[in-house]
Amino acid sequence: MKVISVFFMLFLFVCAHGQTTPPVSFDYDADGNMTARHVVRSLSSMTKSATSDRDDGKETQAEEEQIFFSVMNGEQKISIYPNPTSGNIFLDITLLDTKQRNFIRLYDAVGRLLLTEQINQNLTPVVIRGPAGIYLLDIHLGNNVMKWKIIKE
């Protein structure tokens, strides 16, 4: 009986301190078929932030982690960051063909269309207006459609 309770306690400990799934990216060939899956590295940037516990008012360097999600579509790289977000995300597309019809559609978790916006440049800001939750982003680049899940905190 003690052995079972030890295993049960170990199980509860593992569940309580569960592992986080690292972000992944996928590579696609020119026809849109997935060819590879990669774990995306977290990119760190140094940000200045004022500390409230210092009396001299000096600023210190604090490390802020930002996660970029990206996929390759042929030779085109599509990145979305930050995700999760507080409401503003950036869509970064390399080798954007502006002669094609490029646009995004943003849906809430119920499937209601919230936003349709043209993509005219490589870096496109997107503002998610609405409560915290899960949003679905469809990126239409010519005849290719990619679907992304965006989390708003």
What is the rounded distance in angstroms from the CA atom of residue 35 to the CA atom of residue 29?
6
| pTM (2 d.p.) | 0.58
Residue-level pLDDT, tens digit, the chain, 153 residues: 666 765 556 555 555 544 445 556 666 666 666 666 555 544 433 333 333 344 444 444 444 445 566 777 677 888 999 989 999 999 999 999 989 999 999 999 999 999 999 999 999 999 999 999 999 999 999 988 999 999 999
Domain parsing of the chain, residue ranges: 20-47+60-152
Give the max Cα distance, the chain. Answer: 70
Q: Each residue of 105-134: b (16+ CB within 10 Å) or e?
A: bbbbeeeeeeeeeebeeeebebebeeeeee
CATH code for the domain defined by 20-47+60-152: 2.60.40.3080
The sheet with strand 76-81 has its strands ordered as: 34-39, 24-28, 69-73, 76-81, 88-93, 123-127
